[in-house]
Structure formats: structure tokens, C-alpha cells
Structure 1
Amino acid sequence: MKRAVIKGVGAYVPEKVLTNKDLEELMDTSDEWITTRTGIHERRIIGEEEDTSFLGYQASLQALKDAHLKAEDIDMLIVATETPDHMFPPVAVRLQHLLKCRQIGAFDIHSTCVGFLTALQTAEQYIKMGKVKHVLVVGADALSKIVDYSDRSTAILFADGAGAFIVSAEESDESRGIIDSTIHSDGQHYYDLYVESGGSKESPQIVMNGNKIFKLAVSAMSQNVKMITEQNNLLLNEVDWLIPHQANQRIIDAVGRNLEFPEKKVISTIKYFGNNSAATIPLAFTTALQDGRINKGDTIVMTAFGGGLIWGTVLLQY
């Protein structure tokens, strides 16, 4: 049977670093206050002339290199983003041109911080149906473009970056690749985290009910991880790595405690990169792969939540 296997990964963050000390100059806050409440020490910020497509392009080049594939090998391109360069056309279409792919299907997914996992699930379905062999899945966001830097409740969290996976079809009866996935939503929380308008070249603002989102995020991700492991007859101690959405270190820690999951097996990169929405999970995955933590054959659970409220989980063997 055809399985959707992670063939290559890549990530990119902008060169500009915005530290907590820098934020002290912009608003009434302190390095200690930010670190205690979020675990973030610094974040990467896109340049004035750069956009979401640029971030996605850089991450895609890395993923193609890691997969030992060329752009013309890609059969479909899916981008998860909340900050497109323009309201339309899709970022994916511009990436298709920048990478010099063939005239393939290319589209964006608008699913907040769960966007990358939603895009992975979409790629998996196309592969299982036999429609495509190689799908480039990108999560890219330039959240600094829509942050109000006078609002410390949001400005301290959000950042920019991109991550990319090459998802490929392989004929196998083994468990390698995507094993299972879920996605859920509850629209009654629609106005607890939202942006009224805009794109990465405009200046709208993020509005967030932080305390409520914190509780919802911890509950949703914890329950979803338990559900997906149980329905696949998998014990949590058989999971090698848990990669949660990098929204807040306190959320990451709370999910680990709820699951009684060892802290050393929870991958966190938020200290250096902040919350870059759809990019956080592929960025964390790529970082852990490059530093030697993740190895071939590892069983990995990736879980995320985002405005909507939307949440989802992907279980895979790398």
C-alpha cells in the first residue's frame, strides 16, 4: 500500500533578531517578565523588503536538498500561512514560480497555527489516492507584519519563519510515514484569537484572549495526543518525540505534565524563535533532526492548536 513518507525537511528564519531587551525599549516590559511568562528570549523578524514567499522559498530549497530531489520532481505544492504576501493569489503559486516547478497544482491552506498539520493531512490523502508522488508542504508566516508593538500581550510572542517537508509516496506495508492524523474545531471560541483583516504586506493587528487560549490549548492538545495514540494501540512511552506547536513554553510544559511525558522527549525551540504560527512544527522538527535528536525510525507525535479554535495531531514514523 502507498504510504506518505517524510522524504526531506528544511527550515528558515530571518537574520534579524529581536531580543527581549529590544522589546524593553518599545513597551513597558522586561526580559524577566517575558521569559517567565513565555520562555522566549528572542525571535526572528523579517526584513522590510521580504515577505512570506521569501521565507517559504528558503525553507523549500533546504527540503529539496535534503530529499535529494529537484523542483521539477514536485507534483503538488501546499502552503500553510496566515500572512500571504497579498490577499490573493496564493503564496503557493508564487513559490511554484520561484522554485521553477512544473505547472503543478499549488494552493494555500488557511488554518491558523494548525495549518502545517492540515497541509500534511491533505498531502497524505493525495498520495494515498495515487494522484501524486512528491508533495512540497510549507508552513510560513511573517507575523511581525501584523503585530501591534505597543501591545505586550501579543508582541512578545509572535515572530517570523518557515519550515518545509517533502512528503513522498512509498509502497510499503511497514508503519514508516504518516500513521494517523486528526483535526477538530470549535467555533464558539472564534473571537478569542483573531485578526480582522490583512496580509503580510499590510498592517492589521492580532487580538488575543491570552488566559482563555492558554487553557484551551493545553486541554485540546493533551486530549488529542491521548486520543490518537490510544486509537493506534500505542503507549505514550513508545513515542520517541512530542513536537507541540511552539506558542508558549508554559503551554508546552503543561501539555507534557498532563500526558506525564518526559520533558527530555518534548522538543521546544520557542526560546530562540518565538511563535511563528504554521512554521513552528516543521522548524522544531528540522532543528531537532539537524542537532541529532531525531533519527530515522523514530515515532513522533506533532500536535497544534490555533485561532478558530482549531486543533489537530499527526502521528508518524520518520
Structure 2
Amino acid sequence: MTQRAVVIGVGHDLPERVVENAEFEKTLDTSDEWIRSRSGIERRHFAAENENTSDLATRAAQNALRDAGLQPDDVDAIIVATSTADLTFPSAATMVQARLGMNHGFAFDVQAVCAGFIYALSTANALILSGQAKRVMVIGAETFSRIMDWTDRSTCVLFGDGAGALILEAQEGDGTTADRGILATDLNSDGRFRDILYVDGGVSTNTTGYLRMEGKEVFRHAVEKLAATAQASLAKAGMGPEDIDWIVPHQANIRIIAGTAKKLGLSMDRVVVTVQDHGNTSAASIPLALSVGRARGQIKQGDVVVTEAIGGGLAWGSIVLRW
């Protein structure tokens, strides 16, 4: 028998405020058509002034617990993937732990920007396979609206706020691709490309920064690297693109999503797409899409799901799992 990390619960949370593309026309030289044609984004959610990343993460966690039929004490660990934690420290994960009333186990944050959830999910898988935890809550949560330069039309129209959560549980499998749970992971990074996507400030430099991005360069790297990592994780699982039921990609740009699907030889009707409603929510993007895809009736138990993301670092990776 083989130990597997199986998804047993999923949930998400979005701020109440919805910002349509037209709102940006009041302050920027842009338009709804310009934003849609270049990104596929129609609207996004922004957190309220008194609403922090840990608030979104906690509500997503509560929804995932409800979906799984569990109490907080049934979970051994919490991992939050975020680049926009409330404070420098303590971690957002420990804040979520306290708010849930979970007084045991451990909690920590993972920071790999838009690839953060892939890194966190891979870490949770390793904790389960090594026997250090039986159930792990993995959350992606962001308030990217707090690091936007509102004069830069090339970036500020692309991002939004939100959170999504999964609960993984250790279950026995047969060691075949028919098992439910995570079947393979693939993680990568290359620090040489730091300057094409970064925030120009931080604690150590005593500055408050904004997100900066060279869009064309990011696009070029994204399509190539996302397709390659998806193929790598499929190969590790002993599977191919023909075995995929759903791709759930990082929701950054519809053209990147479509380009990656094309490289894998898959049609868009096998891709879960939420970018039009959420924009780019960084580490929250994939768990949000998984939760919405399941709620829509797209993702069903037994489906093979490939999820992949790329973000600042550059950091990128993918995971193959059977739902």
C-alpha cells in the first residue's frame, strides 16, 4: 500500500467589493475593451480598508472545514501561501490557527508569489508522506491591491484579492495512477529573472514598494515554463496529456492560459477559467479556481487535475492529482 495526500475539503472567500474594468477608466488611460483584450479580465475583488489577508484566509479555511465535515482540531497543520501577509511576523498561518481555535499542531507561511500555492501543496504532500501530519490545511490568500501602483495601467488593472483553501488527508492507495490524491509534483526556480517581476521595496531595504512587471518577458517565460512543468509532473506520474480531465492553471492572463493548453494539445473546454471574475490573485488563484470549479460541477471525484503556476523569482511548478 502507498500513502497518498487526498483532497477531502475545499473552500474560498472573496471580498465584497467588486471592481469592474470601467472603474479604471476614471483615473487611467485605459478601457474595459483594452483590459479584456489583453488579459481576459472583466472584474476583480478588492479587500476593504480594514480587511486583511488573514481575514480572507480564515473564512476560506472555515468554508473548507465545513465542506470536509471537520472541526479545526481535526487538522494537524496549516500552511498559508502568501506574499501579502498582514505583518512581517508572525505568520498569517498562525493568525488563522488562532482564529479557528486550533490550539495544537503547527502553522507557517510559504512565499513563492504566484507559484506559492503549488509550493505549499507540495510541502503539505511531503508532510503527509513523511508521517509528520495526517491532515493539512493549505491556503492561498492575497491582498495584492495593497502593493499596486495605481498610476501604472499595465499592472494595477490585472490583480485582485481573495483566498482559497484545500484540506489534504493521508489515505492508503495502491501505488497506481488510479489512486486518489497527489500523484506527482514538480518545482522549479531561477533567480536570474528576478527583475522581470518583483516588488521594489521591503523590510530589509526600509522601503515600501509596489509591484513591477515586464509583461512581455513574463508572458514569454510563462507559456514555455508552464507547459514544461506540466509535462514533467505528468511524466513523473506515468501519465500524459490524454489522461487529464482538467487543467486548473494560475489565473493570470487568458492568453497565457490558452497558450499553455495549446502546447499541451488540450482544448479550452478542459480548462477551469476564473480569471474573468477574479483577476490575478497570485497564490490564491489556484485554490480559488479549484473551489469554484468544484462548485460549478466541473471537477468531480476521480478526475485527474493538473494545476500549474509561475510567479516572481522566477518560481514555477505543477502538481498532478486525482480528485
Secondary structure of 1:86 counterpart: coil
Alpha carbons 2:248, 2:286 under 8 Å: kept: yes
Q: Tell me, which stretches of 5 or more residues in structure 2 are unaligned?
A: none
Residue type of the partner of 1:249? Answer: I
CA deviations on 1:151-189 (whole Å, 9 max, x unpaired) are 011011011000000011112225210000010011110
Correspondence for 2:285: 280
Percent identity reads 41
Correspondence for 1:193: 197
Structure 2 residue corresponding to 1:179, chosen from 166, 183, 194: 183
Q: Distance in 1 between matches of 2:269 and 2:170?
A: 32
Does 1:224 find its partner at 2:232? no
Q: Distance in 2 between matches of 1:290 and 1:178?
A: 20
Q: Distance in 2 between matches of 1:77 and 1:228?
A: 24
Alpha carbons 1:221, 1:305 under 8 Å: kept: yes
Secondary structure of 1:171 counterpart: strand
Q: Distance in 1 between matches of 2:201 and 2:76?
A: 32
CA deviations on 1:253-292 (whole Å, 9 max, x unpaired) are 1111111111100111000000000001010011010010
Q: Distance in 2 between matches of 1:85 and 1:8?
A: 25
- What is the total number of aligned residue pairs between the two structures? 316
Correspondence for 1:252: 257
Correspondence for 1:317: 322
Listed as ranges, the matches of 1:124-143 within 5 Å are 124-143=125-144
Alpha carbons 1:140, 1:278 under 8 Å: kept: yes
Residue type of the partner of 2:256? Answer: I
Alpha carbons 1:158, 1:274 under 8 Å: kept: yes
Correspondence for 2:103: 102
Alpha carbons 2:248, 2:307 under 8 Å: kept: yes
CA deviations on 1:135-157 (whole Å, 9 max, x unpaired) are 11100000000001110110110
Residue type of the partner of 1:195? Answer: V
Correspondence for 2:25: 24
Secondary structure of 1:178 counterpart: strand
Q: Distance in 2 between matches of 1:249 and 1:97?
A: 37
Q: Distance in 2 between matches of 1:76 and 1:178?
A: 17
Alpha carbons 1:145, 1:203 under 8 Å: kept: no
**Offset, 1:81:** 0.2
Residue type of the partner of 2:182? Answer: I
Secondary structure of 1:153 counterpart: coil
Q: Tell me, which stretches of 5 or more residues in structure 1 are unaligned?
A: none
Correspondence for 2:116: 115
CA deviations on 1:92-134 (whole Å, 9 max, x unpaired) are 0111100000232110001111111111111111111111111
Correspondence for 1:263: 268
Alpha carbons 1:42, 1:273 under 8 Å: kept: yes
Secondary structure of 2:154 counterpart: helix
CA deviations on 1:10-58 (whole Å, 9 max, x unpaired) are 0111110111100111211011100000000000000000000001011
Listed as ranges, the matches of 1:228-243 within 5 Å are 228-243=233-248
Q: Distance in 1 between matches of 2:316 and 2:279?
A: 19
Alpha carbons 2:186, 2:232 under 8 Å: kept: no
Alpha carbons 2:7, 2:168 under 8 Å: kept: yes
Alpha carbons 1:87, 1:198 under 8 Å: kept: no
Alpha carbons 1:17, 1:42 under 8 Å: kept: yes
Alpha carbons 1:80, 1:108 under 8 Å: kept: yes
Q: Distance in 2 between matches of 1:107 and 1:158?
A: 24
Residue type of the partner of 1:30? Answer: S
Residue type of the partner of 2:8? Answer: K
Residue type of the partner of 1:265? Answer: R
Residue type of the partner of 1:250? Answer: R
Q: Distance in 2 between matches of 1:229 and 1:124?
A: 16
Q: Distance in 1 between matches of 2:107 and 2:201?
A: 23
Q: Distance in 2 between matches of 1:119 and 1:230?
A: 21
Alpha carbons 1:178, 1:317 under 8 Å: kept: yes
Correspondence for 1:307: 312
TM-score (normalised: structure 2): 0.96
Q: Distance in 1 between matches of 2:106 and 2:155?
A: 35
Q: Distance in 2 between matches of 1:26 and 1:257?
A: 36
Q: Which runs of 4+ in 1 moved over 3 A?
A: none
TM-score (normalised: structure 1): 0.97
Alpha carbons 2:73, 2:104 under 8 Å: kept: no
Q: Distance in 1 between matches of 2:145 and 2:20?
A: 13
Secondary structure of 2:19 counterpart: strand
Correspondence for 2:63: 62
Secondary structure of 2:37 counterpart: helix
